Amino acid sequence: MADGDSSYSQPLPCVFSPKSQQYLAVCAQDGRLRIWNTDSKTLHQEYVPSAHLSATCTCIHWGPCRTVKEGPLRKKRKSEAGHVEEKADLLAMGTVAGTVLIYSTVKGALHCTLDGGHSGGVNCVHWHPEDCLLYSGSDDSHIVEWDLQTGKTRSKWKADRGVVSSLCVSPDGKLLLSAGQTIKMWNLDTKEVYRKFTGHSSAVTTLRFATTRPPDSSSLYFLSGAVNNRLLSVWQVREDGKDKNSVVSFTLTDEPRHIDLVASKSKEEAVRLAVVSKDGQLHLFEHFLNGPCKKPLSPSCTVQMSDTKDSPMPIPLLAAALCAESRTVMLAYGNYLQPVIEKLDIETADRHVCLTRNVQTALSLSIASTVSKVKTPISNSKSKVLVPGLPGHQAPVPGVSKSTEKRKKDVDSKEVSIAERLGEIDLQSTPSIKKGQSKGTPSLQTDNYAVLLVQGLESSDHDILNKVFQTRKDMVIKKTVSRLPLPAVLPLVEEITKRLQGHPFTAVLMVRWLKAVLMHHTSYLSSLPDLVSQLGVLYHMIESRVKMFHKLTKLHGKLYLLVTQVATDNSSNKVSDVDHTAKLVYEEESSDEEEASGDEGLLDEDSDQNWEEDESLVDDTKAEIVLCEEDADTDNRTDSKENGEEKMEHDNESEEE
């Protein structure tokens, strides 16, 4: 459901007091608490916390109405004894610093401060309907039970792995709903989990009980609303435990910001619901909770407000409260600094109602003198201030010196622009971690990637998007996509779809980003009601490319066969063309026989050229060779005889001499 960090933006607190709706408590952008009187439409009280700028208010919840002692006690008459008026008195405010402030409207001052229970910012507070107990949920994933009589923690337990974003106590005070990554129902006596509910993919901001019946009757219902979710889910708590899915859902135009509900006390009584969405519209519902309903329910009436100019502009609704009368609604609209309060009778027969009002844009806060007695003098450059010392001595109001102006210029000059940040972060090639560099730089780099990607998507800056999309590391891509806020997921998918239709080289890179988006944000995308229309282009493009892929694989197989056949034919031709000529011939000059054999070798060489010769010719050549050898032998013998006779004669001559 909700992520591990509180990345969703909480709306400014704006709540009507219970039962009579006598007061409207608003905590505006300046961190001040203003309480308006709905009857006189004037500012009743204003409270400025000591740390209203650093520890701003995140949530407000009115305590149960109680009897309050005002002024000195007097003896009551018999007619007044039976009638005791209950008023809204205490108001709990959670802050970013982890403290809870309790403000009293009767005293007009701070009642007490509850601190020391949370280590993170407080996201939600809720009062116990009977006892003087208060419950708070924080970013530190804990729930704290406060005792207002002592001003200390009564108990504390871990509710979830992530942040605790919403709380709600049942009307009988026995059960507590908490929302984190899952919706859990706690037994307040044992502080153990009674039920678990899953179904939201984003942070749950609203939990309200829709019925006042006990859980053992199988008729206990509650509703929940989440960030970026245009459906309000209704859950049923059953004895058999088969309550994993929601039974009813209400359709809105945007995520819910403020909800007021009149609970059902029996099956014959319908639940009345007034929801103010993020786009400033009011949706009214009326439904009998009796089992599951498959189709989402549309509002019985939608109220929208606009100004009376020539080109009308919508006026946002801030809060709404259902009055005791069935058709009467208390509305607060305009801006948080000076809201306009109006009580209307709305006819639900009209499905859509548009009201035109003339709202003054200039803010003129009319604060009663009893509320604030501090007067701020108006001073300009011409005014003079008397300095203590000599009578009548005057000195000009100290203005801004040149040294402070230089300091401001130096501070302004140190602001880093987006271009410089892009230059410092080398997105073309990821730098390696140097010796002096810490190992935490990849996480910082992915943080910068996520910030730059969101800026590029919001401003449609192609230079920033091109440099971010050029990264090829899968780990960097996954971490960047996982750290994106949920409102930036759908624009990222649309940008990926545009780039997939371009060059194939960029399409290969975009497939990695699309894979990472589907891995991390599938649950959020599936919760969008108009997902099919928004992702229709991507779906049809992928479907057409998948159809072409089958044909391309067939063509690839045929081309592969042709290429391999041509390659084998070329290799066979190269093997057949072998040169049979001798590379080297060796001959010995020792005797004529070897010469003959050499001639025979030459004949053999000649015979190699004429491979298929008759055997008869071979036999004739052999006979001739034998005859030639015999003649050679006879010649050698005659030559040796003649040489012997000549030698003898030569010897005789030498002897005679």
Backbone angles phi, psi at 203, to 5 degrees: -65, 130
Higher-pLDDT residue of 503 and 25 is 25
In angstroms, the CA 115 to CA 251 distance is 39
Buried b (16+ CB within 10 A) or exposed e, 394-409: eeeeeeeeeeeeeeee
For residue 588, pLDDT over 90 is answered with: no
Q: Quick one: residue 43, left, alpha or beta (phi over 0 = left, psi -120 to 50 = alpha)?
A: beta
Q: Strands 352-356 and 301-306, how do they pair?
A: parallel
pLDDT at res. 571:
79
For residue 124, pLDDT over 50 is answered with: yes
Q: How many CA atoms lie within 13 A of 269 on its CB side?
A: 14
Query: Length of the chain in residues, anyone?
Result: 657
Query: Quick one: tokens of 348?
Result: 């639900």
What number of helices (H) and strands (E) belong to the chain? 12, 31
Q: What is the DSSP letter of 137?
A: E
Confidence of residue 244 (pLDDT cuts 50, 70, 90): confident
pLDDT at res. 466:
85
pLDDT at res. 411:
45
DSSP states along 534-603: HTHHHHHHHHHHHHHHHHHHHHHHHHHHHHHHHHHHHHHHHHH----S-S------S-HHHHHHHHHHHH
Q: What is the DSSP letter of 299?
A: P
Highest mean pLDDT among 39-48, 49-58, 437-446, 571-580: 39-48
Sheet of 317-322, strands arranged across: 317-322, 328-334, 339-345
Q: What is the DSSP letter of 293?
A: -
The one-letter amino acid code at 367 reads I
Alpha helix stretches (DSSP H) within 41-109: 78-81
With CA atoms as reference, report the closest residue to 120 among 2, 4, 258, 256: 4
If one counts every other C-beta atom within 10 angstroms of the C-beta of residue 516, the result is: 21
Burial of 240 (0-12, 13-18, 19+ CB in 10 A): exposed
With CA atoms as reference, report the closest residue to 15 among 335, 275, 258: 258
In angstroms, the CA 454 to CA 590 distance is 98
In angstroms, the CA 166 to CA 207 distance is 6
Contacts of range 525-531, beta carbons closer than 8 Å, 24 or more positions apart: 525/489, 525/490, 525/493, 526/201, 527/200, 527/201, 527/202, 527/228, 527/229, 528/490, 529/230, 529/231, 529/251
pLDDT at res. 563:
92
The average pLDDT across 576-599 equals 62
pLDDT at res. 533:
73
First vs last Cα of the chain: how many Å apart? Answer: 142
pLDDT at res. 550:
80
The one-letter amino acid code at 642 reads E
DSSP states along 151-169: TEEEEEEE--SS---EEEE
pLDDT at res. 473:
85
In angstroms, the CA 364 to CA 460 distance is 39
pLDDT at res. 394:
44
pLDDT at res. 621:
57
In the chain, what percentage of residues exceed pLDDT 90? 11
Which residues have CB under 8 Å from 124's CB, separation 6+? 59, 94, 136, 137, 164, 165, 166, 167
Query: Quick one: tokens of 96?
Result: 């970013």
Beta bridge partners of 334: 339
Of the given ranges (137-141, 346-350, 470-474, 489-493), which has the lowest mean pLDDT? Answer: 346-350
In angstroms, the CA 115 to CA 98 distance is 7
With CA atoms as reference, report the closest residue to 158 among 120, 201, 114: 120
DSSP states along 339-379: EEEEEEE--TTSSEEEEE-----S----B-TTT----PPP-
* Secondary structure of 1-60 in HEC code, one letter for each residue: CCCCCCCCCCCCCEEECCCCCCEEEEECCCCCEEEEECCCCEEEEEECCCCCCCCCEEEE
Q: What is the DSSP letter of 483?
A: T
Q: What pLDDT digit, counting tens, does each position of 554-567 carry?
A: 898 999 999 998 98
pLDDT at res. 269:
82
The average pLDDT across 124-131 equals 87
Q: What pLDDT digit, counting tens, does each position of 313-369 carry?
A: 888 899 999 887 777 888 999 888 888 898 888 876 778 888 888 876 434 444 444
pLDDT at res. 390:
40
Q: Quick one: residue 460, left, alpha or beta (phi over 0 = left, psi -120 to 50 = alpha)?
A: left
In angstroms, the CA 13 to CA 518 distance is 34
pLDDT at res. 176:
92
pLDDT at res. 421:
61
Query: Quick one: tokens of 83?
Result: 């009638």
Higher-pLDDT residue of 132 and 390 is 132
Instruction: Classify 654 as helix, strand or coil.
Output: helix
pLDDT at res. 393:
43
In angstroms, the CA 306 to CA 636 distance is 141
The one-letter amino acid code at 512 reads R
Query: Quick one: tokens of 552?
Result: 């391309």
Is-contact 206 256, C-beta < 8 A?
yes
For residue 180, pLDDT over 60 is answered with: yes
Q: What pLDDT digit, counting tens, does each position of 375-385 carry?
A: 455 555 555 55
pLDDT at res. 135:
94
For residue 6, pLDDT over 50 is answered with: no
Higher-pLDDT residue of 29 and 606 is 29
Q: What pLDDT digit, counting tens, does each position of 252-273 carry?
A: 988 898 899 888 877 778 888 9
In the chain, what percentage of residues exceed pLDDT 70? 68
For residue 616, pLDDT over 70 is answered with: no
Q: Quick one: residue 375, left, alpha or beta (phi over 0 = left, psi -120 to 50 = alpha)?
A: beta
pLDDT at res. 400:
43
In angstroms, the CA 282 to CA 303 distance is 5
The average pLDDT across 569-573 equals 78
**Average confidence score pLDDT of the chain:** 75
Confidence of residue 214 (pLDDT cuts 50, 70, 90): low
pLDDT at res. 137:
93
Of the given ranges (64-73, 159-168, 501-510), which has the lowest mean pLDDT? Answer: 64-73
